[in-house]
Structure formats: structure tokens, C-alpha cells
Structure 1
Amino acid sequence: MILKKLILVSHGKFCEGIKDSVEMILGSQDNIFTVALSEEDGPQDLEEKFKEYIDKNDTIVVFVDILGGTPANVITKLIMQGENFELYAGMNLPMIISYLNSQMIDENADYVSQGQEGIVKVNDIINRTKSEDDE
């Protein structure tokens, strides 16, 4: 099994916080790294921070916070220049947990679907359950 390096990149410390949450649920994760874009950083600063985690022998998956933001644009530019990363935008906790579970059991997973399925309006679930109970 080839362990992939997962790099979380975001505006501010979101990537650090979500990694902390993942580790609260699943325990310490040695293959997850974070790169936070601070208010003082420009795209070049973020690129330099990101490149600190890159080794040519690594298989790398990158999750960024939002499509079209500086983190996504910086990584996209690197891919367009020939770097070989898998890049996913819209990172959330279910997406990361799905990724890690798939790594543990050495199976492919659809991180995008898992992330989307984690987005629900709980009020609708409650109302559906109430309706079913009333029947």
C-alpha cells in the first residue's frame, strides 16, 4: 500500500483546526500536513510554504478550502506547471475522514461524494422523522 501525503491548505488557520478535529476523532495522523495562508501572505509566500512539504518521491493529495481562492489557485498553477498532485476544493471533515478511511483499508473512495453527503439540513431530517412518527 502506498501511503499518500495529504496536505490541507486554507485561508487562515482553518486547515489546522480541521486537522485537530480529524485527530480528535481518528487519533494522530502522521501523513497530514497543513499550510495556512495568513493575512500577510501573498500567493508566492503560500507557494513557498507549500513546497516545504513536497518531495519528488511523494504521492500527494491536496485539499483546499474553496475553489477560486488563493490556496486553490496556487496549487492549480503548480499542477499546470507539471507537478503531479490530486487537488480537491471544498474540504470538509467528512471528506477528510473518507480519505483517511480509504487509505487505512487500501481502497479508492469518492471524497467529493462523501463530503457532499455530509452536508444536510438537519431540520428536514427532524421534520421527516416527526412525520413518520405521526403516521
Structure 2
Amino acid sequence: MAKELVLISHGKMAEGVKESCELIMGPQDHVHTVCLLPEEGPEDFQKKFNDEISKYDLKDVDVFCDLMGGTPANVVSRLIMGGEKVHLVAGMNLPMVISWINAQMVGQDSDYVAAAKQGTVDINQYLANMGK
């Protein structure tokens, strides 16, 4: 059984990351999004998140969020502290999601946190150091 990935964010960042990922990797049936919209509060987000994860076996759910300490991360953190078996990682970016998908495709574990960090590069500095 494949794992499920739920991308959560302030605004529609999660949807944008999924769309960008699918542009590169093709359609992703195991990647889902839950977005906190400006007119919503924590209770609204929690209901949408609960509705989404109720479809899956929680031991097979990873959650990537945009920002540690924000409402989406805090809502899911409270669920984890309440005993839910969801795996939450903050600092979502496109390399992280692609690493997760690649690992699922080949049936291996991924260090998607390392992929997220490696995806952050100061290109100007990199180019300046190329000739050295």
C-alpha cells in the first residue's frame, strides 16, 4: 500500500507546490492538499484536515507544512500530541516533495528533510565560487 502525503499551508501554497510537482513528475494520486484560507480560523482548518486524513490509514500519512509555528502546523501538532500517528515535517519546498515522491516510486525511504535543505542554494554565491 502506498503512503499518502498531505501538503498543508497558509493560503494556496500547498496547491501550488502540488501543481508544480505534477508539472515535473506527472499526476500524483497520493499527494493531497489542505489550505488555510484568509477567511478561515483554526477550527475550519482542523475540520478540513480531519476530513482529508479520515480517508487514509494514519500510519501511512506524511504531512508537509509550510511553516513551523503557524496555524496549519499547530493544528496538526495538537493532533499528534493527542495521539494521532501522523508524521509532520515543517519547511515544505518542491525538492522535498519530489524526494518524497521519488522514494515512493522506487519503494525506498527518503531523507526529504535533507532534500529540502539541499534545495536551498544561494545561486549567486554558487556561481561566484565555480571558477575557484
TM-score over 0.5 (shorter chain)? yes
* Secondary structure in structure 1 of the residue aligned to 2:35: strand
Residue 57 of structure 2 aligns to which amino acid in structure 1? N
Alpha-carbon distance in structure 2 between the residues aligned to 1:113 and 1:54: 25
Match of 1:86 in 2: 87
Residue 123 of structure 2 aligns to which amino acid in structure 1? V
Residue 79 of structure 1 aligns to which amino acid in structure 2? I
Q: Which runs of 4+ in 1 moved over 4 A?
A: none
Match of 2:45 in 1: 46
Alpha-carbon distance in structure 2 between the residues aligned to 1:54 and 1:37: 15
TM-score, normalization by structure 1: 0.93
- CA-to-partner distance for each residue in 1:78-111, whole Å, 9 max, x for gaps? 1111111110000000000000000011111111
Deviation at 1:52, TM superposition (A): 1.1
After TM superposition, the structure 1 = structure 2 runs for residues 24-43 of structure 1, keeping only pairs within 5 Å, are 24-43=23-42
Match of 1:108 in 2: 109
Alpha-carbon distance in structure 2 between the residues aligned to 1:5 and 1:57: 9
Match of 1:120 in 2: 121
Identical positions, percent: 46
Deviation at 1:57, TM superposition (A): 2.6
Match of 1:3 in 2: 2
- CA-to-partner distance for each residue in 1:36-69, whole Å, 9 max, x for gaps? 1011111110000001112353410000000000
* Secondary structure in structure 1 of the residue aligned to 2:16: helix
Alpha-carbon distance in structure 2 between the residues aligned to 1:71 and 1:112: 18
TM-score, normalization by structure 2: 0.95
Deviation at 1:128, TM superposition (A): 1.3
Gaps of 5+ in 2: none
Alpha-carbon distance in structure 1 between the residues aligned to 2:57 and 2:12: 27
Match of 1:66 in 2: 67
Larger Rg: 1
Residue 38 of structure 1 aligns to which amino acid in structure 2? L
